[in-house]
């Protein structure tokens, strides 16, 4: 019961503070538009960029429709293959969000379980996990992701690697992000472990797995959610970077990173729209997620208010 | 002091051993070295002979010690892709990356530290808020997008600066430098700025939070209470105490610089180690990948060691704490 009332209070506070912060509201709207656009892409996009029959090479390099040579069929122009840029961006955002969310989910499950277990059991297990976390932390995320990608390329045959690319990408990004979850979960578990409800559960003879999952986990979710939001921005950024570098999603698949990569080849010849619109979508998406993450952190951490 | 350094040294060696084991596993078990080296038409017997010749049938432990011995003596083997000695390949690329990293670190410190101090002291000022919002945006824009915007603005629109390659370099022994020609310096500006902007925002935020923490301590409050003028409190008392972590910042940023130099080098086609690493990933050139890993780890470890020792020298608290010994 107590936990329920605490949650209601936090929710009210969340709404209250949200209504008082115009920046957060704008960010929420931008994020919402991106997410809706991505989810509804198959319904609202004028064409399907995955369908080779839906675009024509003769349509390539149309500038945005409001310029002199624009074509009303293509609102913000077309790319080098004649794909409608708006559709490509909608589908690209879909892919970026898919990879971002699933890699954060992967990192959250891995990091949180290791962190809670380390905090609960302590001792040697804790020492080993934290040592690994330290090493991982000294490696920048992008380097980890690149290494995982490179190793899987070596292990798998080429076709198989291409089929599993999204999974590889998710794991590569997820593996570079688990440490934050693990450290936070561990620190919070340390605090919770000595509280009476956990002791009560222990005396009742509950299995440690059950105590960790049912008793401790719900009580440490707050800070983990904050990390999840902030890491989502990092994951989207990493996916875009890897795809831009040509080691992420396949070159022909529209993701925000590959679209920007294609666009850079044409900035010298004056086709600015091919790079500007995907880049802007990416930046707005990341900034809005970052602002939301900042907002959650401030709300859930009274010390910062 | 000596005991402290020795223990740190021991730790560093341990880390290097762990990394080299990882590199060895990568080198030995990811892909089949023999299959990559020979063509399709080589007979099984020839392949088997080559395998024996390369010592791939020896016990794993022997192979690892041999791998380690080769690394220590600077024999890094050959690249699968170019068939060149890896040592030469990396050595010829190293100056480009180090010079790029050095200049961007300089940019991030020269701009980041004053900006951090300013925003910490003028907490609610208009300019301070503007700087803070700019940094939030700065953190959110991916490095490669910053690079592309800079190329578009200064390279395409204004046509002021070169946008790819190193330009003219001067060779001093095996080291090639950008610093001695106008062309080389011009080529350095955009990549260094790209790499520096992200680091700059980090430096600024760290200096700011550090300075704010120090401003809240009792000895600063006491200094203010004593009636010492603010300039002196800010710059003689507070700044001096927030500068200790700056040494750590430099150490920490190094990792970021190495990682993001891969991205920057790709955007500007800067012929450094990062570009080499990226190519070796694309072409599954495992030996180059594993040697890159070892060399990066070595640079990391050496810098961290220096930072720790500097810490020991600068900050008396580290020296006096019992665990420092």
Share of chain A above pLDDT 70, in %: 89
Q: Considering the domain boundaries, does residue B320 fall inside one? A: no
On whether both B266 and B195 belong to a single domain, the answer is yes
In this prediction, residue B325 carries a pLDDT of 38
On whether both B42 and B172 belong to a single domain, the answer is no
CATH code (residue B306): 1.10.3720.10
On whether both B100 and B231 belong to a single domain, the answer is yes
Taking every pair of Cα atoms in chain B, the longest distance, rounded to a whole number of angstroms, is: 88
Q: Considering the domain boundaries, does residue B291 fall inside one? A: yes
Query: Among the ranges A4-13, A31-40, B249-258, which has the highest mean pLDDT value?
Result: A31-40
ipTM of the complex: 0.76
Q: Does B280 touch chain A (CB under 8 A)?
A: yes
On whether both B102 and B217 belong to a single domain, the answer is yes
For A50-109, write each residue's pLDDT tens digit.
776 767 766 666 777 677 776 666 667 777 777 778 888 888 899 999 999 999 999 999
Query: Among the ranges A75-79, A109-113, A298-302, which has the highest mean pLDDT value?
Result: A109-113
Between A166 and A50, whose confidence is greater? A166
Domain finish residue from B20, B45, B72: B72
Collapsing DSSP to helix, strand or coil, B177 comes out as: strand
**pLDDT(B155) > 90:** no
Mean pLDDT on B21-45: 74
Burial class (CB in 10 A: 0-12, 13-18, 19+), A57: exposed
In this prediction, residue A302 carries a pLDDT of 56
Q: Does B145 touch chain A (CB under 8 A)?
A: yes
Q: Considering the domain boundaries, does residue B128 fall inside one? A: yes
Burial class (CB in 10 A: 0-12, 13-18, 19+), A133: buried
In this prediction, residue A2 carries a pLDDT of 58
Q: Considering the domain boundaries, does residue B82 fall inside one? A: no
On whether both B169 and B281 belong to a single domain, the answer is yes
**pLDDT(A304) > 60:** no
Q: Please give the distance of CA A11 from its chain centroid, rounded to a whole number.
A: 24
Helix ranges (H only) for B75-85 are: none
The full length of chain A comes to 305
Burial class (CB in 10 A: 0-12, 13-18, 19+), A92: buried
Interface of A to B at Cβ within 8 Å reads 135, 138-143, 146-147, 149-151, 153-155, 233, 237, 240-241, 244-247, 260, 263-264, 267-268, 272, 275, 279, 282-283, 286-287, 290-291, 294
Between B94 and B230, whose confidence is greater? B94
On whether both B185 and B291 belong to a single domain, the answer is yes
Q: Does B30 touch chain A (CB under 8 A)?
A: yes
For B59-69, write each residue's pLDDT tens digit.
778 888 888 88
On whether both B9 and B109 belong to a single domain, the answer is no
Burial class (CB in 10 A: 0-12, 13-18, 19+), A293: buried
Domain assignment of residue B21, given as a range: 2-72
In this prediction, residue A116 carries a pLDDT of 93
Q: Does B116 touch chain A (CB under 8 A)?
A: no
- The count of other CB atoms within 10 Å of the CB of residue B171 is 10
On whether both B59 and B176 belong to a single domain, the answer is no
- Rounded CA-CA distance A96/A109 in Å is 20
Counted domains in chain B: 2
Q: Does B85 touch chain A (CB under 8 A)?
A: no
Q: Considering the domain boundaries, does residue B252 fall inside one? A: yes
Tell me which of B36, B101, B142 to substitute to probe the interface with A (most A C-beta atoms closer than 10 Å).
B142
Q: Considering the domain boundaries, does residue B241 fall inside one? A: yes
- The count of other CB atoms within 10 Å of the CB of residue B149 is 17
On whether both B45 and B121 belong to a single domain, the answer is no
Mean pLDDT on B257-279: 87
On whether both B196 and B244 belong to a single domain, the answer is yes
In this prediction, residue A182 carries a pLDDT of 93
CA of B173 vs chain A CAs: smallest distance (Å): 31
- Rounded CA-CA distance B258/B238 in Å is 31
Mean pLDDT on A115-140: 84
Between B29 and A133, whose confidence is greater? A133
**pLDDT(A203) > 50:** yes
Domain finish residue from B41, B72, B103: B72
- What is the 3-state secondary structure of B7-63? HHHHHHHHHHHHHHHHHHHHHHHCCCHHHHHCCCCCCHHHHHHHHHHCCCCCCHHHH
Q: Who contacts A267 (Cβ-Cβ below 8 Å, separation ≥6)?
A: A275, B148, B151, B152, B156
Share of chain B above pLDDT 90, in %: 0
- Rounded CA-CA distance A301/B3 in Å is 41
Collapsing DSSP to helix, strand or coil, B70 comes out as: helix
Nearest to A267 among B151, B258, B293 (CB): B151
The full length of chain B comes to 325
- Rounded CA-CA distance A273/B41 in Å is 50
Mean pLDDT on A182-210: 88
Q: Considering the domain boundaries, does residue B81 fall inside one? A: no
Between A202 and A79, whose confidence is greater? A202
Tokens found for residue B154: 């200064």
Q: Considering the domain boundaries, does residue B325 fall inside one? A: no
Q: Please give the distance of CA A31 from its chain centroid, rounded to a whole number.
A: 12
On whether both B22 and B130 belong to a single domain, the answer is no
On whether both B97 and B59 belong to a single domain, the answer is no
């Amino acid at each position: 019961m107590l936990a329920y009332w605490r949650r209601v209070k936090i929710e009210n506070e969340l709404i209250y503070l949200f209504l008082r912060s115009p920046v957060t509201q704008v960010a929420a709207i931008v994020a919402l538009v991106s997410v809706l656009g991505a989810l509804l892409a198959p319904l609202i996009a004028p064409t399907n960029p995955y369908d080779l029959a839906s675009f024509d090479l003769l349509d390539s390099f149309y500038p945005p429709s409001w310029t002199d040579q624009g074509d009303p069929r293509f609102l913000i122009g077309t790319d080098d293959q004649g794909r409608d840029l708006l559709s490509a961006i909608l589908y690209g955002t879909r892919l970026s969000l898919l990879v971002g969310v699933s890699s954060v989910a992967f990192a959250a499950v891995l990091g949180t379980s290791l962190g809670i277990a380390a905090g609960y059991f302590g001792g040697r297990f804790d020492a080993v996990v934290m040592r690994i976390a330290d090493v991982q932390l000294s490696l920048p995320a992008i380097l980890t992701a690149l290494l995982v990608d490179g190793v899987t390329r070596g292990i798998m045959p080429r076709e198989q690697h291409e089929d599993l690319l999204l999974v590889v990408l998710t794991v590569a990004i997820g593996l570079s992000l688990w440490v934050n979850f693990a450290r936070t979960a561990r620190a919070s578990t340390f605090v919770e472990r000595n509280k009476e409800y956990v002791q009560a559960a222990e005396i009742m003879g509950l299995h440690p797995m059950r105590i960790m999952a049912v008793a401790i986990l719900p009580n440490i979710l707050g800070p983990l959610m904050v990390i999840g939001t902030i890491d989502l921005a990092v994951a989207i950024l990493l996916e875009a970077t890897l795809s831009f570098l040509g080691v992420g999603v396949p070159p022909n698949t529209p993701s925000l990173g590959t679209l920007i990569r294609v666009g850079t080849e044409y900035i010298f010849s004056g086709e600015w729209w091919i790079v500007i619109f995907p880049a802007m979508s990416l930046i707005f998406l990341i900034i809005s997620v970052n602002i939301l993450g900042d907002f959650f952190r401030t709300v859930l951490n009274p010390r910062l208010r | 002091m000596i005991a402290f350094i020795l223990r740190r040294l021991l730790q560093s060696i341990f880390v290097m051993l762990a990394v080299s084991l990882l590199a060895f596993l990568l080198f030995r078990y990811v892909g089949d070295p023999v299959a990559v080296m020979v063509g399709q038409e080589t007979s099984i017997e020839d392949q088997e002979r080559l395998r024996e010749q390369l010592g791939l049938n020896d016990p794993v432990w022997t192979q690892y010690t041999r791998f380690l011995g080769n690394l220590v003596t600077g024999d890094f083997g050959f690249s699968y892709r170019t068939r060149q000695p890896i040592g030469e390949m990396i050595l010829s690329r190293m100056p480009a990356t180090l010079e790029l990293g050095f200049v961007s670190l300089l940019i991030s410190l020269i701009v980041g530290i004053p900006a951090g101090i300013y925003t910490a002291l003028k907490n609610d000022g208009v300019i301070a808020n503007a700087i803070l919002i700019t940094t939030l945006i700065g953190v959110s824009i991916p490095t490669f997008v910053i690079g592309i915007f800079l190329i578009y603005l200064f390279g395409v629109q204004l046509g002021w600066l070169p946008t790819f390659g190193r330009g003219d370099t001067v060779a001093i022994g095996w080291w090639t430098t950008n610093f001695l020609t106008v062309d080389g310096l011009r080529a350095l500006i955009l990549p260094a700025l790209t790499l520096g902007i992200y680091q700059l925002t980090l430096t600024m935020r760290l200096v700011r939070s550090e300075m704010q923490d120090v401003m809240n301590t009792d000895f600063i409050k006491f200094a203010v209470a004593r009636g010492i003028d603010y300039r002196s409190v800010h710059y003689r008392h507070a700044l001096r105490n927030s500068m200790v972590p700056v040494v750590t910042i430099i150490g920490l940023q190094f990792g970021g610089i190495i990682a993001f130099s891969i991205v920057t080098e790709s955007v500007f086609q800067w012929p450094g180690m990062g570009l080499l690493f990226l190519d070796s990933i694309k072409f599954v050139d495992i030996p180059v990948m594993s040697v890159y890993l070892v060399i990066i780890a070595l640079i990391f470890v050496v810098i961290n060691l220096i930072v720790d020792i500097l810490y020991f020298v600068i900050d008396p608290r580290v020296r006096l704490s019992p665990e420092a010994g």
